[in-house]
Chains A and B, each alone.
Chain A
């Protein structure tokens, strides 16, 4: 039954491309919006997913070996939410009907890829669906066909191919060492301790590919161009969820279900995490374009997740999942804010839009919430996720890592406040015309800001009530 999370978007994709007279961009929009909404609801009220044990009479399609656990539920919920927001933003920012229709189709393909990535229990299938999500995103990034968008796409494509080579090579060595590619099978070979040299080599090579997909330092070269040059709705998808599922989720899944975590592996991962946090935060200070600043901030926040995964205690993994969710929501919010700015001013350069914040009151307030949550200010969701990660680091006697991660939060707050001051708090003699931003974008801004606040205020309740089954993330 879980296969429906993969099959329904695929069937919808086929229906939209059959020569039915009633199919157009508007119908595609509403059908897709309903589908994304259903995914959010089903992932949130997961007890209803008890029907996942029921097997539909779908022949071979019902025999997919899929997995449903707390991590999958959080991912399905987040994917549904960000994809829905991206769709809503696209409705306002993509001008031609034809292009809008293509965007929706590619969004459905990326949804198939991402849903399957989080549901599969097999390393080879995971690789296949990671690639599907990535291919859909390549085309989406270049959908506007501007010179800079194509340049950003090209950089992402080239580095993604290198990442794929690493991942495939790692996979080949996993097959050589284990004779199979299921998570459980590989985990059992790790437990048995045979062929450890081959397994360690496979893990190392596979991780290099994943670091490129994550955009972690020093594999981050493609991220700023890809995030900042893409169309607004694509930026939301890319920064909010696509690269997180294809890189960060896979890392979390491998560390919770497949690999046996060793000290050397932990140290390597934590070093990459820390480098990402510090270097990206420092690089963000220099940026004069909001989208580029957010791109570097994204690298820095991914660093926190990698750091927490490397720490590998149950508390750290809980922090990693929470920070993943916070990052997806906050970054989507911030990129929706930039969509509003682009719509209003046609630019996100700080020098061009300085002092014009009074024309965008909703964007102004929601941007502040997104920035504060990303920087880790209480009582917003980002505060709790960072607090849990830093507590886990201290608990695991990783004091230096914890202290540097804490200091980097201050840098994050610094560059965000600098941007906020320049854009919204400097008074200039501009007109107070508050029109120009569509209601849908304002709705997305308020919705995402509401989630950041509500999740932050009710987090203890969420953890205790096990709505997301956040407890017990460990091997």
Chain B
């Protein structure tokens, strides 16, 4: 429990850093670290397969795609970087304060009632869930991939011609 809380706190810190940082590469690294911590939390909560997906896809593959894209951009000059950093700091100055105040209020006043939560009775094997229970969603997954391909073709390939 204590380790879970520590992981959640670190997760919060990495999320804030991802949003606040001025450099895109730093934001991508922050996102990858966030996903890795999330994967650890998922593993500890008893979802090893979800953790593997989170680690390989969100922390790995997506970070690679982001960094590839960022490598096509130009680095900001030092002067612009300073201006942007100042602007960003001013914009998010109150964010840590808001988080601390909300956290204190939640700890002090939020009383989570006892719930009579139902026990999941379906198949526990993820393969069985995917292929026998959620096969319509798998079809959806295929369609959304095709939509993504058309997105890439429409945005990038047409111009090349």
Contacts and interface: CB of A to CB of B under 8 A. Distances in A.
16 contacts: A17-B146, A60-B131, A61-B139, A98-B161, A106-B150, A106-B154, A109-B147, A124-B134, A132-B140, A135-B147, A145-B155, A177-B115, A180-B118, A180-B122, A195-B116, A198-B115
A6 B143 CA distance: 11
Interface string A130-159: 011001101100110100000000000000
A195 B117 contact: yes
B158 A98 contact: yes
Interface string B97-120: 000000000000000010111111
B137 A179 contact: no
A293 B20 CA distance: 38
A102 B150 contact: yes
Interface string A179-198: 11000000001000011011
Nearest to B120: A179
B146 A116 contact: no
A197 to B, nearest CB: 6
A64 B136 CA distance: 6
A60 B140 contact: no
Contacts of B2: none
A116 B147 contact: no
Contacts of B121: 179
B144 interface: yes
B64 interface: no
Contacts of B148: 135
Contacts, number: 93
Contact of A125 (B137, B147, B150): B137
B151 interface: yes
B46 to A, nearest CB: 15
Interface string A190-210: 000011011000000000000
A233 interface: no
Contact of B150 (A61, A109, A189): A109
B135 interface: yes
A194 B114 CA distance: 11
A195 B118 CA distance: 10
Nearest to B148: A135
B57 interface: no
Chain A contact surface mostly: helix
Contacts of A125: 134, 136-137, 140
B153 interface: yes
A249 interface: no
Interface residues of A, number: 43
Which 8 pairs between the two chains have the least Cβ-Cβ distance? A179-B118, A128-B140, A139-B151, A135-B147, A60-B135, A64-B136, A109-B147, A128-B137
Contacts of A176: 115, 117
A129 interface: yes
Interface string A54-86: 000000110111000000000000000000000
A129 B138 CA distance: 11
Given A143-B154, A145-B158, 18 more contacts: A10-B139, A61-B135, A99-B158, A102-B153, A106-B147, A106-B154, A109-B150, A116-B140, A125-B140, A128-B136, A128-B137, A136-B150, A138-B151, A139-B147, A139-B155, A176-B115, A176-B117, A177-B117
A419 interface: no
Contacts of B135: 60-61, 63-64
A184 to B, nearest CB: 15
Nearest to B149: A17
A132 B116 contact: no
A376 to B, nearest CB: 37
B62 to A, nearest CB: 15
Nearest to B153: A102
A132 B151 contact: no
B136 A116 contact: yes
Contacts of B122: 180
A408 interface: no
A142 B134 CA distance: 32
A61 B118 CA distance: 29
A412 interface: no
B143 A142 contact: no
A298 to B, nearest CB: 24
A13 interface: yes
B143 A109 contact: yes
Contacts of A241: none
A323 B75 CA distance: 53
Nearest to A135: B147
**Residue picked from B116, B131, B136, most chain A C-beta under 10 Å:** B136
Contacts of A124: 134, 137
B117 A13 contact: no
B116 A197 contact: no
A277 interface: no
A180 B122 CA distance: 9
A441 interface: no
A139 B117 contact: no
Given A10-B143, A112-B143, A105 B115 contact: no
Contacts of A63: 135
Contacts of A270: none
B10 to A, nearest CB: 22
Nearest to A106: B150
A120 interface: yes
Contact of B155 (A106, A142, A189): A142
